[in-house]
Chains A and B, each alone.
Chain A
Amino acid sequence: MTFQGYHRSNGTVGTRNHVLVLPSVMCANHVVERIGRKLPDLITVQHPTGCSQVGVDFEQTKRTMAGFAANPNVAAVLVVGLGCETNESKALASEIAARGQRVEVIGIQESDGTTNTIARGIEIGAALLRDAAKHERRVAGFEHLILGTECGGSDTFSGITANPALGWAADRIVGEGGTVILAEIPELVGAEHLLAERADEAVARQLYELIARVEQRAAQMGVDMRYGNPTQGNIAGGLTTIEEKSLGCLYKGGTTPLREVVEYAMRPNERGLVVMDTPGQDIEQLTGMVAGGAQVVVFTTGRGTPTGSPIAPVIKVATNTAIFGRMRENLDVNAGSIVDGTRTLPEVGAEIFEWIVEAANGRKPAAEELEFRDFAINRIGPSF
């Protein structure tokens, strides 16, 4: 199997050809937004991070921004800084360039104010768009594809219909030489032993350590995870405990051996099934996987969530026919037909696989058509 993608100079292959404008710090959000308003073909993001951060929290924020900017779906990046931020814009740009990405950088203080910076940003953005338009799709093997998997707004049918069907497609991706990311560690609590059985000893130990961290946090806070996860919506949908949710979540990753465990926003070194350390919070998870190099994401939902990434197609799979009917504009595949008895699990799995290939070739799923551009970086320390 192959797809038609954009071959980048660092050897990666994109499924999209975006030009990204990224603030290195929240103080540059407005300028970035104004540049994007003038040139709507640019992809802009805003975020509340990049200053007064230290240690592992700052490292993770910077790694996420650099990884996101260097995702192969991005042809070139314009970083906009303020000038006095912790996340120094030129250092961030160097980090992005070191990953083989084309990057330009401007600063608000250096450009003597916002009006000049916006004007300069529009000029550079227009030039980057002109250059990006010269790239063309060419054939690429599945060894270049990293698929992110996610479930959000889960219900009891997630673990019966959409997640096993996504797992079927994930097994096909791995069979074709590709990589599949399984994440949201809190939603593996109670199911981790089934995944560890499919890993070598060192990888299994890393997985158990991630799970232990989650339960230690709950112990430090003295809380039952059930007050927050499963969520009220999950519980209304019939999910009773985190174990039950996890056992259903696990199916998304399919049945192949677990090859590697990576930190948040870290690009996998191995091909095949990998686990990434992300929270269950949908947008932070999505951003982490895309910053880790995922060019396509499949997202299953029972309650119905519209989430999409600014730079990667996110294919939505409904777990039940009722939500597929009600939120049709936000959803791409109906796995509810499995319990309705109208289609088999492999039939829905094959539809998801086809969608992944077509999305890699350029077909826009609902979230992309509707221009959802959700972006949030997972924080692991306080602001000072």
Chain B
Amino acid sequence: MGLSTNGAALRLSDADNVAVVLRALEPGTELTFGAEHLIATQEIPVGHKLATREIPAGAAILKYGQTMGRATVTIAAGEHVHVHNVEGIRGRGDLAAARSASA
């Protein structure tokens, strides 16, 4: 677990590719986690997440060191990570229904 040097975001596990914003971020805010630097590219509300490194489309979103979903598009470091660019993998009855319809 690590707090960014300015205290504005919290990365819950070193393995994570997202951090939770503790103070609303303006675009251009710089964040440092240990040796890693990144810049928030968008406004990010309190409690929401930003990518701490680039996440390719289809790759796992990692929080608490665990998989919490996957990227639907490639997400750049510093971008807002939420329902617009992440989907769940579990509880996806819609995908199950689509699979049985095409079978």
Contact = CB atoms under 8 A, between A and B. Distances in A.
A179 B94 CA distance: 38
B12 A242 contact: no
A156 B92 contact: no
B22 interface: yes
A189 B91 contact: yes
A157 interface: yes
Contacts of A242: 88, 90-91
Contacts of A191: 66
Given A159-B64, A235-B83, A244-B68, A220 B93 contact: yes
Contact of A156 (B48, B90, B93, B95): B48
B31 to A, nearest CB: 16
B20 A241 contact: no
A339 interface: yes
Interface stretch (A16-24, A77-85, A223-231): A223-231
A320 B22 CA distance: 10
A296 B69 CA distance: 34
Contacts of B93: 215, 217-225
Nearest to A341: B7
B88 A241 contact: yes
B90 A339 contact: no
B88 A225 contact: yes
B47 A225 contact: no
Contact of A240 (B12, B22, B81): B81
Contact of A243 (B45, B69, B81, B83): B69
B92 A225 contact: yes
B67 interface: yes
A194 B66 contact: yes
Contacts of B81: 240
Contacts of B57: none
Interface residues of B, number: 33
A190 interface: yes
A41 to B, nearest CB: 43
Nearest to B46: A238
A238 B64 contact: no
B103 interface: no
Contact of A224 (B10, B46, B66, B91): B91
Interface string A148-187: 0000000111011000000000000000000000000010
A225 B89 CA distance: 10
A54 interface: no
A318 to B, nearest CB: 13
A238 B88 contact: no
B67 to A, nearest CB: 7
Interface in B14-65: 20-22, 45-49, 61, 63-64
Interface string B72-94: 00000000011100111111111
B90 A190 contact: yes
Contacts of A247: 63-64, 66, 68
Contacts of B12: 160
Contacts of A244: 63, 68-69
Contacts of B83: 226, 235, 240
Contact of B91 (A226, A248, A341): A226
Nearest to B67: A243
A341 B90 CA distance: 34
A156 B20 contact: yes
13 contacts: A190-B67, A190-B88, A214-B91, A218-B93, A224-B88, A225-B90, A238-B21, A240-B82, A240-B86, A241-B90, A242-B90, A247-B66, A339-B10
Interface of A: 155-157, 159-160, 186, 189-191, 194, 214-215, 217-226, 229, 235, 237-238, 240-244, 247-248, 302, 320, 339, 341
Given A218-B92, A241-B68, A247-B63, 8 more contacts: A190-B88, A221-B93, A240-B61, A240-B68, A241-B69, A242-B88, A247-B68, A320-B47
Please name the 3 residue pairs, one residue from A and one from B, whose CB atoms are nearest each other, closest first: A225-B91, A218-B93, A222-B97
